[in-house]
A and B are shown apart, each in its own frame.
Chain A
Amino acid sequence: MSTKTSILPVVGSHHRTLEVEVLRYDPDKDDKPYYQTYQVPCEEEWVILDVINYIKDNLDRTLSYRWSCHMAVCGSCGMMVNGEPTLTCASFVRDMPAKIRVEPLENFPVARDLIVDMDSFVEKLSSVKPYIIAADERTVEDGTFTQLPAQLADYMSYTHCINCLLCYAACPQVNLNEGFVGPAALALAHRYNLDSRDKGRSVREDVVASNAGIWECSFVGACSEVCPKHVDPAAAIQQIKIAATGDYFINFLMPWKKSKNTDEASSGGGK
């Protein structure tokens, strides 16, 4: 018998067998997904990702899934665990019942096993122009922007997103409205709107304040509950709704005021 060296952390002595039901789908062979059950000898200190890695290393090499950092930074290991969107490298075996079910993130097409197709998300993310749109063209000679710590604090929490997509998997409106721009992308738009260096709010509003943007949100709040980084997309979206409503009425009552920088900035970047 060959003994494989395991990369798994073996720290404690709390052995426990976990019954793991995993959704399997091979687009070349299967017409639809099915569940496969594995008995996994675990340590209480393991995270769910360790369990999946154990299956891959020792039980079934055909299992496909994404992961990289194992430290809640890269955002690639999001899965449904017992129906809850979960960052599997940051949730522990000790908090789980004897039997768990692992599925790919909801509200995305399944590409293979636990891997989802996230193209639609990437498209939505870039649609909100998530970069600084300055009022004027800046040259190197102008030097760097200055920003006070208090101005940084205004948007800091919205920079913590790791694009793990848990919020999209949790949001019923993402499920009910296919084109909804969605929590993380709108939170990132808010991050730039709040940045003192940025003047692009009205440019972003073309997408952000369209019917497929913030107005598709009914403030379920599930996104903020599942977010492993406490980004609070639900708060961001409500704040954009209030700001966009103000902008709408100002533009309506004083059309000549329609933000000066709009045209220059929109010809500047993005699609």
Chain B
Amino acid sequence: MKLANGNYIRSPNRYSWWLRQGRYVRYMMRELSSLFIGVFSVMMVWGLYRLSQGETAFTAFTDMFWSKSILVLSVLMFLFAAYHSYTWFIVTPKAMPLKLGGKRIAAGVIIGAHMLLWLLCSVAVWAAFVYGGAV
């Protein structure tokens, strides 16, 4: 588009701009992870709602939730959720440049600590559910 002052505006395509570079594709996949996290969260909300309605309703929910046709979606939900975790923790040193005794903590240490926390939380939740019994 040529402007009145002679300048020319070149604008990338409004819908497909992100396909031009790997870094933009990775960004869009990161953003789309929230869609899968959202779908999962809504399913959990729905499951809790059905649970509150009694045993028959809850069984109907689990039959649907664990059916073959949902399995592909569940795998996708897992993959995107894990990608979200990875992308979230890998940038923690940028958002939180921590200092210890006046010195910057190395980025790798901050990332590593978050990844470790992720692992610990995962194990804790799994163990709490499996061995928790009646709390």
Contact = CB atoms under 8 A, between A and B. Distances in A.
Contact flag (A, B; Cβ within 8 A): yes
Interface of A: 25, 27-28, 31-33, 83-84, 106, 109-111, 117, 150, 172, 175, 218-222, 224-225, 232, 234-235, 238-239, 241-242
A17 to B, nearest CB: 27
A109 B7 CA distance: 6
Nearest to A153: B104
A117 B10 CA distance: 12
A110 B24 contact: no
A218 B95 contact: no
Interface stretch (B12-20, B61-69, B73-81, B123-131): B12-20
Nearest to A239: B95
A175 B18 CA distance: 11
B7 A106 contact: no
B49 to A, nearest CB: 32
Contacts of A225: 23
Contacts of A235: 93-95, 97
Given A234-B94, A238-B94, A241-B95, 13 more contacts: A27-B6, A31-B2, A33-B8, A109-B3, A111-B7, A220-B27, A222-B23, A225-B23, A232-B94, A234-B91, A235-B93, A235-B94, A239-B94
A110 B10 contact: yes
A242 to B, nearest CB: 7
Interface residues on B, range: 20 to 34
A32 B7 contact: no
Nearest to A236: B94
B52 interface: no
A56 B6 CA distance: 23
A266 to B, nearest CB: 28
B95 A28 contact: no
A182 B97 CA distance: 21
Nearest to A218: B31
Interface string B91-127: 1011111000010000000000000000000000000
A221 B10 contact: no
Contacts of B18: 172
B56 interface: no
A25 to B, nearest CB: 6
The 3 closest A-B pairs by CB, nearest first: A27-B6, A235-B94, A109-B7
A28 B24 CA distance: 35
Contacts of A239: 94-95, 97
B53 interface: no
A148 B17 CA distance: 46
Contact of B2 (A32, A175, A218, A232): A32
Contact of B10 (A28, A33, A84, A222): A33
Given A83-B21, A234-B94, A175 B12 contact: yes
B62 to A, nearest CB: 37
B9 interface: yes
A241 B102 CA distance: 23
A218 B31 CA distance: 9
A221 B27 CA distance: 9
Contacts of A25: 8
A4 B91 CA distance: 52
Contacts of B17: 172, 175
Contact of A28 (B6, B12, B21): B6
A234 B23 CA distance: 14
B94 A117 contact: no
A235 B93 CA distance: 8
Contacts of A31: 2
B31 A238 contact: no
Nearest to B3: A109
